[in-house]
Homo-oligomer: A and B are copies of this chain.
Amino acid sequence: MTGTPDVIAQAHRAYQAELVAAGLLIPLGVPGLYGRSGVFEVVIEQFERYVTWAGAHLKPEVMRFPPVFSRQTYLRTDHVETFPDLMGSVHTFTGDDRGHQALVQKKAGGGDWARDLSPAGVMLVPAACYPLYPTAAGVLPAGGRVVDLRSFVFRHEPSDDPARMQSFRQREYVRLGTPEEALKHRDYWLGRAKEVLESVGLDVTPAVANDPFFGRGGKVMAASQKEQALKYELVTPVATPLKPSAVASCNCHLDHFGQAFGIRTADGAVAHSACVGFGLERIALALFRRHGFDPRAWPADVRRTLDLN
């Protein structure tokens, strides 16, 4: 289904207004930035528990990274080349008393004070798995690794679509291993994630997808990614059925990160990686759309699956 941009934008603003009126999202004065209510958080917490249960048989290592990570790590990826418009570079003041006076005066005079700050040692995390790779440098154990991650990620893409937040949480299972192990993980989760989402009442459809690579050169990369079917998304209506939103994705990275971070398999080859990522805020928004704004009134089987009783 398709809709004119106007109709879709109107649907985004309408659902956003409903969520704000219901108190589930708290507008913070920047498009795509919201506080979440306690009810919203309970839905995310309970969905996460369900995902933990769904992945328990993989016996994953659990790691939780903060929302910022090393600038040096960032620079070992090609993020500046591929997604510059989405990046979040953290800058701070490193001067002395005199420099501080100049900064404060520039700010008071309406000047562009932030330009005088210095890049700090950290960047905002663009995807939950980025901080993992340098910690996995070297030789993997036989059989590779499965890692359970959750992190706030940042994407600079101001939008009125409540499902397109600038700061949101990704829950991931990342596989590091041989090409076969990575591909098997991706394909397993394509089916399993669909089951997980369907069992909380969401109608999801798998679709070959591409990342939003920047600019003219990006169009070629996006086409190549689609042609190789490296990325699948599970999409479902959130603000409007005219333009469903991806609530999970299953990705094969080939040896992209293995090369960049010197990760090798037990047999000495460059490691491959793959991941399933659940967009936690989008899943909550899809659930509120599907079942209504009061989880106490959700269907009994969904409440049972999410242990909402």
A residues near B (Cβ < 8 Å) are 26-31, 33-38, 40-41, 61-73, 75, 80-81, 84-94, 96-97, 100, 103-104, 107, 112-115, 117, 119-122, 124, 131-132, 134-135, 148, 152, 154, 156, 158, 165-168, 214-217
16 contacts between A and B (CB under 8 A): A30-B71, A33-B121, A35-B65, A35-B135, A36-B63, A37-B64, A38-B61, A84-B104, A87-B92, A88-B90, A90-B156, A91-B91, A91-B114, A112-B119, A121-B158, A152-B152
Flag if B63 contacts A214 (CB, 8 Å): no
Q: Are B28 and A73 in contact (CB under 8 A)?
A: yes
- Which residues on the B side are within 8 Å of A65 (C-beta)? 28, 35-36
How often does this chain occur in the complex, in copies? 2
**Alpha-carbon distance between A66 and B40 when the two chains are bound, in angstroms:** 13
Contact partner of A113 among B29, B80, B124, CB < 8 A? B80
- Closest chain B CB from A121 CB (angstroms): 5
Residues in B whose Cβ lies below 8 Å from that of A104: 80-81, 84
The answer to whether A114 touches B89 (Cβ under 8 A) is yes
Q: Chain B contacts of A40 at CB under 8 A?
A: 64
Listed from nearest, the 9 A-B pairs whose CB atoms lie closest are A38-B62, A66-B167, A84-B93, A114-B119, A67-B67, A29-B70, A92-B156, A97-B215, A89-B91
Contact present for B87 and A93 (CB under 8 Å)? yes
Q: Are B97 and A88 in contact (CB under 8 A)?
A: no
**Given A38-B61, A91-B114, A114-B91: A26 touches B135 (CB 8 Å cut-off):** yes
Q: Report how far A70 CA is from B28 CA in the complex, Å.
A: 7
**Residue pair B135, A166 in contact (C-beta under 8 Å):** no
Known pairs A69-B33, A166-B68; A103 contacts B80 (CB<8 A): yes
Residues of B within 8 Å of A152, CB to CB, are: 66-67, 152
